[in-house]
Chains A and B, each alone.
Chain A
Amino acid sequence: MKAIQKLLCATAIVSAGSASATDLEVMHWWTSGGEAAAVAEFAKAFDATGHKWVDAAIAGGEAARAVMVSRLTGGDPMGAFQFNHGRQAEELIEAGLLRDITDIAEAEGWKDIVNPPSLLDACTVDGRIYCAPVNIHSWQWLWVGHKAFTDAGVAVPTNWAEFAAAAPALDAAGKLPLAMGQQGWQQSGAFNVMMASLVSGDVFMSVYGDKDTDVAGGSQVATVFQAAAAARDMAAKSTVQNWNDATNLVITGQAGGQIMGDWAQGEFAVAGAVAGQDYSCLPGLGTNPRLGTGGDAFYFPVLKDEAQMAAQTELAALLLKPATQVSFNLKKGSLPVRGDIDMSSANDCMQKGLSLLAEGALLPDTNMLLTPDTANQLNDLFTQFFADASMSAEAAQAAFVDIIADAE
């Protein structure tokens, strides 16, 4: 009996000891070189508080979201998870699966420091805050590799029109004018970038915000579809799948450019390329410098274990601390969510982004305006459109109008 008592005491001590150092499983889909380096900064900062960051990375946002949602709805929640904030988490919040972190946000004064405020709004449902925004990502960038253009003997373009004009020369030099991964989210993303950059911002808002079918079927959007058809021809010989493989084509000079979000910057940084010298970044495709303010946020499932909840609280507060924001965002190539920190160590491209952020040349992200259902329908449409050269811009626009008409 005594032995058992001793054993019980020992277990009690051990478990008391571990109460202050808790393992917290964090799920995310940051697996490319630059992304992994960035998330390691969070893990380092969290481990420094005495807790343990248990990394659960799943490659590919779509696959990761499916696993996260099925674990949450299946009653096996993780400690914390990354999500694109916006409408994706709406139903999880309605079902009461996610923890209300309003008290943490108020204690840390997030309302005053998060800039632009729309980021926190995207985390807010019925006045309560459910997620911690960690960065601002914008889709609206054209990444241009200088090597391909010098090899082809043409000037490095500074906007979309010049880029399109230089495409035949690149093609003749055996280069791929536009690198594009053959995945729906990349193709519909590229289209949305054109929609945001090539026509006025009102068009973007009336189509995706107000779901106005007259505008969606109108002449302005028709020009965007024409540009997309041109982009399809430029990317016709692109056979890569993943976005970072496409970025790699630009880095190595095999392709002229890529339309991709600012996360591509992390890949250039890992490869040691210098902004302005080896590559240039053109916000708003160089035509209308304007950025969307999507981004990543961490959500915290409702847990039963007190110690884990305490660890969640610490993590949530830590994510927005100035030091973590700087180290994370420099590696990730994204913009910090608070305007009051020193980002002077950021490179050219990030400085461009920061100044656009300061000017307020901003658009909401499509994730905030569209339900996952509508986004998925658009992905399917653009996958089909970009793969099938026989689908005309007019036919695609007609299908586009149908989807917008059904959207909620």
Chain B
Amino acid sequence: MASSGRPSQLFRNKTKIAAIPMILTALVVFVGGTIWTIVYSFTKSGLLPKLKWYGLKQYDRLWSTTKWMVSIENLAIYGICMLILVFIIGFVLACLIDQKVRFENTFRSIILYPYALSFVVTGLVWQWILNPEFGLQNIVRDMGWESFAFDPLYNADIAIYGVLIAGLWQGSGLVMVLMLAGLRGIDQEVWKASRVDGIPAWKTYLLIVIPMMRPVFITTLVLVATGIVKLYDLIVAQTGGGPGIATEVPAKYVYDAMFQANNLGQGFAASTMMLVTVAIVVIPWAILEFGGSKKHG
């Protein structure tokens, strides 16, 4: 019974119709949920959300809690080191594999394989590897180097780097694959031209290829950065926040406050602060990125 006339105004733009469920989800779940969380972070909600106003006291307490300060510091250390190292390792591995090595598929699979494991498995594996009694330290000592000591997870000062090792092991493969895809997307003519001009390979990579790979870098940055902010399961599996509170992270603080301390208000305040931190980083970048491109278009 399809009418042969003009399609009604409503159905003219099918793509917009198709997007309505997603738009609604985004508005209700993300925006609505965010506003709800922020509103309730000013209340004295315990186990259940209650609109009992509490002013800024949840934030006061948050910023005077040692565990929160340690969490922020850990996230900063982990985040900065992770971003820098994962890019360097991923890119170098991609360049090496790009040299038309034999068994490329095999190497690529081996390096990407850790990414197929969940953070929980990764955390447990590295907990065992870094355990001084039956891990790496023990193996090296058995080989004869009796004084060898490597137990980052049991030393509060460097425990977060033990977590970083596991994070790098898990995340480098993905970055490598993305970078490799980017490298393969570079026109071979570019390489031929640089060879004709006698430019060394490392210079070509640094000055020509990397700037051409900008979109790949941005995609990777977004993937890696979101992974950093939501860091939680790796910590729970590998260290449980310990030794002491040395490897606590904000996401775990939120969970602990909400579900162990039965203090939703405190958890909401902490998650609002996480949102603010992300916003401080993302908004200027978004303005630069998208605000700039509008002028061109």
A1 close to chain B: CB less than 8 A: no
On whether the beta carbons of A241 and B240 are closer than 8 Å, the reply is: yes
Residues of B within 8 Å of A373, CB to CB, are 46, 261-263, 266
Q: In the complex, which of the residues B243, B245, B261 contacts A372, with contact meaning CB atoms closer than 8 Å?
A: B261
Docked CA distance A387–B256 (Å): 19
Residues of A within 8 Å of B259, CB to CB, are 65-66, 69-70
B154 close to chain A: CB less than 8 A: yes
A4 close to chain B: CB less than 8 A: no
- B-to-A contact residues, CB < 8 Å: 46-48, 61, 65-67, 132-133, 154, 156, 240-246, 256-257, 259-263, 266
Residues of B within 8 Å of A372, CB to CB, are 47, 260-263
Q: Which parts of A34-86 form the interface with B (CB within 8 Å)?
A: 62, 65-66, 69-70, 73
Q: Which parts of A341-388 form the interface with B (CB within 8 Å)?
A: 371-373, 375-377, 380, 383-388
Residues of A within 8 Å of B241, CB to CB, are 383
| Nearest-neighbor residue (CB-CB) of A386 within chain B | B244
| Nearest-neighbor residue (CB-CB) of A388 within chain B | B244
Residues of A within 8 Å of B61, CB to CB, are 406
Docked CA distance A70–B240 (Å): 21
Docked CA distance A375–B257 (Å): 11
| Nearest-neighbor residue (CB-CB) of B236 within chain A | A63
Residues of B within 8 Å of A388, CB to CB, are 156, 244, 246
Shortest distance from the beta carbon of B58 to any chain A beta carbon, whole Å: 11
Pick from A88-96, A114-122, A248-256, A325-333 the stretch touching chain B: A88-96
Interface secondary structure of A, over-half rule: helix
Residues of B within 8 Å of A375, CB to CB, are 261
Sorted nearest first, the 10 A-B pairs with minimum C-beta distance are A387-B244, A376-B261, A66-B259, A91-B47, A387-B243, A372-B262, A373-B263, A373-B261, A384-B244, A384-B245
On whether the beta carbons of A380 and B67 are closer than 8 Å, the reply is: yes
Known contacts A95-B48, A383-B244, A384-B67; 13 additional CB pairs below 8 A are A239-B132, A373-B261, A376-B257, A376-B263, A377-B261, A380-B65, A380-B245, A383-B242, A386-B244, A387-B156, A387-B242, A387-B246, A406-B61
On whether the beta carbons of A73 and B242 are closer than 8 Å, the reply is: no
A287 close to chain B: CB less than 8 A: no
Shortest distance from the beta carbon of B269 to any chain A beta carbon, whole Å: 13
Residues of B within 8 Å of A70, CB to CB, are 259
- A-to-B contact residues, CB < 8 Å: 62, 65-66, 69-70, 73, 88, 91-92, 95, 182-183, 239, 241, 371-373, 375-377, 380, 383-388, 399, 406
Docked CA distance A115–B156 (Å): 45
Given known A-B contacts A73-B48, A239-B154, A388-B156, A66 and B246 have beta carbons under 8 A apart: no
On whether the beta carbons of B262 and A371 are closer than 8 Å, the reply is: yes
Shortest distance from the beta carbon of B262 to any chain A beta carbon, whole Å: 4
Shortest distance from the beta carbon of A217 to any chain B beta carbon, whole Å: 18
Docked CA distance A73–B50 (Å): 13
Residues of A within 8 Å of B263, CB to CB, are 372-373, 376
Residues of A within 8 Å of B66, CB to CB, are 380, 384, 399
Residues of A within 8 Å of B154, CB to CB, are 239
Q: List 21 A-B contacts (CB under 8 A).
A: A65-B259, A69-B47, A69-B259, A69-B262, A73-B47, A95-B48, A239-B132, A241-B240, A373-B262, A373-B263, A373-B266, A376-B256, A380-B65, A383-B241, A383-B242, A383-B244, A383-B245, A387-B156, A387-B242, A387-B246, A388-B156
| Nearest-neighbor residue (CB-CB) of A182 within chain B | B242
Shortest distance from the beta carbon of B254 to any chain A beta carbon, whole Å: 12
Docked CA distance A386–B245 (Å): 10
Docked CA distance A69–B264 (Å): 12
Shortest distance from the beta carbon of B235 to any chain A beta carbon, whole Å: 14
Shortest distance from the beta carbon of B86 to any chain A beta carbon, whole Å: 29
Docked CA distance A406–B266 (Å): 14
Docked CA distance A190–B52 (Å): 35
Residues of B within 8 Å of A386, CB to CB, are 244
| Nearest-neighbor residue (CB-CB) of B242 within chain A | A182
On whether the beta carbons of B260 and A65 are closer than 8 Å, the reply is: yes
Shortest distance from the beta carbon of A113 to any chain B beta carbon, whole Å: 31
Residues of A within 8 Å of B132, CB to CB, are 239
Shortest distance from the beta carbon of A149 to any chain B beta carbon, whole Å: 24
Shortest distance from the beta carbon of A242 to any chain B beta carbon, whole Å: 11
| Nearest-neighbor residue (CB-CB) of A389 within chain B | B156
| Nearest-neighbor residue (CB-CB) of B133 within chain A | A239
Residues of A within 8 Å of B261, CB to CB, are 372-373, 375-377
Docked CA distance A387–B65 (Å): 17
Residues of B within 8 Å of A69, CB to CB, are 47, 259, 262
On whether the beta carbons of A88 and B262 are closer than 8 Å, the reply is: yes
Given known A-B contacts A239-B133, A384-B66, A91 and B244 have beta carbons under 8 A apart: no
Residues of B within 8 Å of A62, CB to CB, are 260
On whether the beta carbons of A91 and B262 are closer than 8 Å, the reply is: yes
> Which of the listed residues B47, B242, B243, B246 has the most CB atoms from chain A within 10 Å of its own CB?
B47
| Nearest-neighbor residue (CB-CB) of B246 within chain A | A387
On whether the beta carbons of B245 and A387 are closer than 8 Å, the reply is: yes
On whether the beta carbons of B48 and A91 are closer than 8 Å, the reply is: yes
Residues of A within 8 Å of B262, CB to CB, are 69, 88, 91, 371-373
Residues of B within 8 Å of A377, CB to CB, are 261
Shortest distance from the beta carbon of B70 to any chain A beta carbon, whole Å: 9
Docked CA distance A182–B259 (Å): 20
Shortest distance from the beta carbon of B204 to any chain A beta carbon, whole Å: 50
Docked CA distance A241–B124 (Å): 13
Shortest distance from the beta carbon of A233 to any chain B beta carbon, whole Å: 15
Docked CA distance A239–B245 (Å): 15
Residues of A within 8 Å of B242, CB to CB, are 182, 383, 387
Docked CA distance A406–B259 (Å): 20
Residues of A within 8 Å of B48, CB to CB, are 73, 91, 95
Shortest distance from the beta carbon of A318 to any chain B beta carbon, whole Å: 29
| Nearest-neighbor residue (CB-CB) of A239 within chain B | B154
Given known A-B contacts A73-B48, A92-B47, A239-B154, A66 and B243 have beta carbons under 8 A apart: no
